[in-house]
Amino acid sequence: MPIDNSWAPEGRNCNQTPASHFPLSLLAMGSSLEVESSSSSSSYFPEEEKEWGGRVAEKVFSVYNSLPKKGKPQGREVTVLAAFLLSSPSQDLEVVALGTGTKCVGRSRLSHRGDIVNDAHAEIIARRALLRFLYAEIQRLNDNLNKQGQVETRQLQADGLKNSLFQSDSYGSGETKYRLRAGWKLHLYISQLPCGVASLNSASSIDEHGHSAFELSDALRANSGDCSQFIGLVQRKPGRGDATSSVSCSDKIARWNIVGVQGALLSYFLQPVYLCSITVGKSPYVSEDFFLAQQLKRSLYDRIMHLSDELIKPFEVNKPIFCAAAVPEKEFQHSQTAQTTLTCGYSITWNKFGLHEVILGTTGRKQGTSAKGAVFPSTESSLCKKRLFEIFLSLRQDCKIKYSSNEVSYRELKDRAGEYNSASKLFKGKPPFHNWLVKPLNLENFSINS
């Protein structure tokens, strides 16, 4: 059965389909998500949603299983798998970026050169692989336009770019950026509930030592012995003996539902890119689909919905539809007691344009990096800030940024993304995100010769 993209949920990239085109079962589901209920029936998800979750998972695992064993869990090891998929106007569904992993770099190992990957959790690895995919799409689009010359640009946009992911979009200030073409929708799959608020009371919130797999920020932990009153606030991912500066995946995904998944630098080129659906693999220890849906809605949407009247276009509160998929394969099933499984230390990253690397999550560098060679460029992952910054600078003429010198810092260019930063500051300035962890500024002050 072909995928019907009219199933797509409410949200910036999905609201082009009139409500009258949505199946009644999905409209009913959207309404039921607004109301707290004690129902635990496995029939909570309409049949179309169950089929959608199954199709998404099938696509993701098909790609994952095609990859070499390098970096995959061995023996008792388990990991988390995440992937981004695109659905097209022709109803095709394709995985475009994928990541695995459960580790982070501790504070003492953070680099001021931007040459390591700080957060190697699956969702974050997959998103960075997605960023490289989006950069490649923009480069391909720009190359096609430049080949045609100014005279033929209009005809090219009308004829030659019909299959492009993006189209140009002018708005208020007269500035032109790209946005997803009508009918193209972005989806996220995760093999289990994301760490942090969404994982409370689930097996995925326990690490291999039986401890909580997230922590409140230091300031809150110091001021209160009872953390129950802070449920819903920003959580920090723990490190093994070395605290991290990375916030939980629940908090980061909630932020994507405000500012988009593209980040600050890509916002020079793109309008916000929002998720249309989030599909999560069910836990073997919790049979109720309703629990999963409510956890996702509460952590990824309810906490941000109060910002809807304060955001300025093109930013808005995005509401994806939350779907369940079948319990994933054994290597993605974390033990409920955290005593029979170990978390794999490696992260695999892949995208459809040829990216494929294995990263050691606790160092943020490529697998096989020796202690002596740890600062060599050859050890740097394609996902680190430095490498993504290089891609951005390679497109600098297209974004028409004026530099004050031959060098410009990563932090400076992020700060110049005015509209994006306004939305981000609004998000971080309001409860429950006002305790968002702030990294030392010197960690992003690195520059690259332009």
Which residues are known catalytic residues? Answer: 123
Residue 256: closest CA among 202, 320, 204, 313: 320
Backbone angles phi, psi at 246, to 5 degrees: -100, 130
Q: Which amino acid is at 192?
A: Q
End-to-end Cα separation, the chain, in angstroms: 50
Beta bridge partners of 448: 408
Q: Distance (Å, rounded) from C-alpha 214 to C-alpha 196?
A: 6
Residues in the chain: 450
Q: Distance (Å, rounded) from C-alpha 399 to C-alpha 170?
A: 14
Beta bridge partners of 147: none
